[in-house]
Chains A and B, each alone.
Chain A
């Protein structure tokens, strides 16, 4: 099990948080802590989460899977500064 802290910017759309949480549970990602707060921009929220990954699963892979979620604006890996910048 490896540990990573990720920081996501989400659009404030209904179901956005649910989609992220379901992605974690579908992909066997353990959530150690999770906090959601309004971001500087009013239409966005910041989600800070510490996750545990099973052996053989990489954080890069998880970041890309999070990047597929339509309401995710960007994802930053706080542990390694691995970042996925998405379009507007």
Chain B
């Protein structure tokens, strides 16, 4: 007996390569915090466990490694539920370690007892509750492997307090790398044939391409074939925005050319993507003329929402390498590109300045992108500002845009930026946040200030729950029920709040100040910075496919339906 369960936990985390844990101690997990005190693993003490979970997600996506968060039993563990659900939806590899009441107390409604394994069953890839301290190293290694292999996702490890406190002997875990699925040569050949004979193909690229580290292979394959590419919200950065083959983002707020490419295609080459309803619009009207090649590491995604003509189970990187090897020639796509090129010219992304003379939110984001550049990391909350961050930041590399796609979790931006910055200390990290979202998790700025994590936060302060207000404008006759936040009346005053949290607080209210303020924020390296960008409340996100309609009804702006009109 050379250690305790807690000692074995920390040693095992070191052995599997964990370098940072985001967490908060409490009764049941307390034994683990004692050996952690002496460990080389950095612990970032968060102010709310939700922040720990999103930070682990941000860390994972910025580094491509497994993110780790830790919490005590009961409320500590339940505070991790939202990040676990978020990581499950977006296939983010995180391991959550929770304390639990002692084994003899489980099931007795003990103080701070919550059955976190049962609570999180539908939102974890797998979970463990360890009953023998000797099992801890093996379980930690398995948790890391499960989180990061196949389709990545969250794994929960629940540790009863007495198991942590019991003496044990440390056995170093065997770290296994599971084999990747072997590709079916027949399916690869079938796919190559479809690609070779198609006249209007498009690469429909999802977040799986980023998870599998396949951006290089995608670029190679796209350039070899000359086939246009669209990148979903989760795939922004998988293919350079500056690339001439890139049509932008498809979906509810996608570009007209990207949506048109899917709708008019005769072949979708879907890679690491799941035909989410925010991309397909009304499913029966989605890509009506297209055959579908669907490659995904998760067999359960293939033909889930749209039947695949060729389904390939595999890692995107392997799939694209295999396709590159068998595709020998470029097909003639002149007509297809003529059509798409016309749309690119006629319907570029664009916005109007607010009539009331206030700042345009899109302009703010465009300038941040320009001044911080593609080497920076951008995170976003959920709402209009998120869509503008997807549209107006120009992404050139995978992992540079981190947001909550599947779950749409308000409050994601600040803690995710904290995690990303902890994992990538040499990069500039900008959280593009909403005035609503910011108020859900800004307490983590105190963490950032105390821990020397100098993130930058751009609050796109439109005074409202803007995305909801936009729907009220469009679909509820402008009846603005409960969407005004009072943030234009300085409830709260974000500059003072930033100051109180130990950050630099700046404000910007006019176009002429934007560049100066962004540069001022970028010159601060010793503290987090919050910029309150006070923008107009009536700016809207366009283009838009209204919920429940088909993609052909995409509106480039209110009332302008380019694809619909084309059909008539």
Residues on A facing B (Cβ under 8 Å): 14-15, 18-19, 22-23, 26, 58, 60-61, 64-65, 67-68, 70
Contact = CB atoms under 8 A, between A and B. Distances in A.
Contact of B121 (A18, A60, A61, A65): A18
6 contacts: A22-B121, A26-B122, A64-B302, A67-B299, A68-B151, A68-B300
A70 B122 contact: no
A61 B117 contact: no
A15 B122 contact: no
Interface string B334-348: 000000000000000
B300 A65 contact: yes
Given A22-B121, A22-B122, A23-B122, A15 B129 contact: yes
A67 B300 contact: yes
Given A22-B122, A64-B300, A67-B300, 7 more contacts: A18-B121, A19-B121, A22-B121, A60-B303, A61-B300, A68-B125, A68-B298
Contacts of A58: 303
A58 B127 CA distance: 27
Nearest 5 pairs of A and B residues by beta carbon: A64-B300, A22-B121, A70-B126, A26-B122, A65-B300
B304 interface: yes
Contacts of B117: 15
A23 to B, nearest CB: 7
A26 B302 CA distance: 19
Nearest to A70: B126
B299 A15 contact: no
A67 B125 CA distance: 12
B265 interface: no
Contacts of B151: 68
B460 interface: no
Contacts of B298: 68
Contacts, number: 31
B103 to A, nearest CB: 12
A71 to B, nearest CB: 8
A26 B88 CA distance: 14
B114 interface: no
B299 A18 contact: no
A25 to B, nearest CB: 8
Contacts of B146: 70
A15 B121 contact: yes
Most buried by B among A23, A64, A67: A64
Counting contact residues on chain B (CB < 8 A from A), the size range is 10 to 19
Nearest to B178: A87
Contacts of B108: none
A61 B129 contact: no
A26 B85 CA distance: 13
B482 interface: no
Nearest to A62: B300
B481 interface: no
B129 A70 contact: no
B177 interface: no
B300 A18 contact: no
Contact of B118 (A18, A61, A64, A68): A18
Interface in B296-314: 298-300, 302-304
A15 B300 contact: no
B129 A14 contact: yes
B3 to A, nearest CB: 25
Nearest to B126: A70
A33 B298 CA distance: 28
B348 to A, nearest CB: 38
Nearest to A58: B303
A64 B122 contact: no
Interface string B272-306: 00000000000000000000000000111011100
Contacts of B302: 64
Contacts of A64: 299-300, 302
Contacts of A61: 300, 303-304
A54 to B, nearest CB: 14
Nearest to A69: B126
B279 to A, nearest CB: 19
Contacts of A67: 299-300
B447 to A, nearest CB: 33
B120 to A, nearest CB: 10
A43 to B, nearest CB: 15
A6 to B, nearest CB: 15
A23 B302 CA distance: 18
A18 B126 CA distance: 12
B153 to A, nearest CB: 9
Contacts of B125: 68, 70
A12 to B, nearest CB: 14
Nearest to B120: A22
A75 to B, nearest CB: 12
Contacts of A15: 117-118, 121, 127, 129
A22 B146 CA distance: 20
Nearest to B153: A68
A68 to B, nearest CB: 6
A58 B303 CA distance: 10
Contacts of B118: 15, 18
A68 B125 CA distance: 8
A14 B298 CA distance: 25
A29 to B, nearest CB: 13
Nearest to A21: B121
A24 B125 CA distance: 15
Q: Which of B127, B299, B302 has the most CB of A within 10 A?
A: B299
A19 B129 CA distance: 14
A64 to B, nearest CB: 4
Nearest to A60: B303
A68 B299 CA distance: 9
A58 B299 CA distance: 14
B519 to A, nearest CB: 48
A79 to B, nearest CB: 19
Contacts of B303: 58, 60-61
